[in-house]
């Protein structure tokens, strides 16, 4: 199975609430759905634990091409259910956070759990330049030469491996979050993305769709920033 990975608890302000249970965060790393590791963002995970005093679990989900959709999403769901069931965790206050490909899985898991009417669901979704729409892997655009770290060719590779065996134009539910029929009832969202990121248009469109559906969605546009900018310049 998936699950597992780095993370840990920490002291701090949340103790004593809800019968000693505290908030938690499930973290899903980036890597285009084809690579990456639960420990690659340890510095970020540790900073969250230190600053907020909450439990954080980083998921070692399996990746395409060996494990295409829905395996990575299934692993994320298994990890979320596990984290929410921990004795020290308040299941009503579990945030899901995903970076790039992890943002895809975070958004998709919120959709899947809502559609299923799951008893326990994320209370909030934090999506950092999430990979939401396979249509951004198609064709070309006027700014293609400006994309750094993750360009249209990289995107086509990642989506192609993840959706292998699926209908590209009509992919299965929860595989491509931007193509969901209904986005109502989802947890509030924070979406952060640079305006030089290939994913900026799809992130902006998804935030608008959430708001139209009555979901609180905060889109933070970072001027002059490209995909993965904070991994190159941690002070950004």
**Catalytic machinery residues:** 100, 197, 227
Q: How far apart are CA 155 and CA 151, in angstroms?
A: 6
Residues 6 or more apart in contact with residue 112 via CB below 8 angstroms: 73, 77, 173, 174
Distance in Å from the first CA to the final CA of the chain: 35
Q: Nearest to residue 206, comparing CAs of 87, 143, 90, 125? A: 125
Contact 83, 57 (CB under 8 A): yes
**57-90: b or e for each residue (b if 16 or more CB lie within 10 Å)?**
bbbbbebbeebbbbbbbbbbbbbbbbbbebeebb
Sign of CA dihedral 108, 110, 113, 117: negative
Q: How far apart are CA 53 and CA 48, in angstroms?
A: 7
Q: Is the peptide bond before 171 cis (omega within 30 degrees of 0)?
A: no
Q: In what order do the strands lie in the sheet with 22-28?
A: 7-8, 55-58, 22-28, 89-99, 124-128, 189-194, 217-222
Question: In a 3-state reduction of DSSP, which class is residue 220?
Answer: strand
């Amino acid at each position: 199975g998936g699950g597992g990975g780095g993370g840990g608890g920490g002291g701090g302000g949340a103790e004593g609430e809800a019968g000693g249970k505290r908030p938690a965060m499930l973290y899903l790393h980036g890597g285009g759905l084809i690579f990456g590791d639960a420990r690659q963002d340890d510095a970020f995970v540790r900073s969250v634990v230190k600053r907020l005093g909450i439990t954080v679990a980083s998921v070692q989900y399996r990746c395409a091409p060996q494990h295409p959709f829905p395996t990575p999403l299934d692993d994320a769901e298994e990890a979320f259910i596990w984290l929410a069931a921990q004795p020290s965790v308040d299941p009503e206050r579990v945030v899901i956070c995903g970076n790039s490909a992890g943002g895809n899985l975070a958004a998709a898991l919120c959709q899947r759990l809502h559609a299923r009417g799951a008893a326990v669901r994320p209370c909030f979704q934090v999506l950092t330049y999430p990979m939401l729409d396979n249509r951004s892997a198609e064709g070309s655009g006027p700014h293609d030469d400006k994309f750094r770290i993750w360009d249209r060719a990289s995107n086509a590779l990642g989506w192609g491996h993840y959706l292998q065996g699926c209908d590209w134009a009509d992919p299965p539910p929860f595989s491509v979050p931007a193509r969901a029929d209904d986005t109502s009832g989802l947890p509030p969202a924070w979406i952060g993305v640079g305006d030089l990121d290939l994913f900026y248009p799809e992130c902006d469109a998804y935030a608008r769709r959430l708001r139209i559906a009555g979901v609180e969605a905060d889109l933070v546009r970072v001027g002059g920033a490209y995909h993965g900018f904070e991994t190159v310049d941690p002070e950004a």
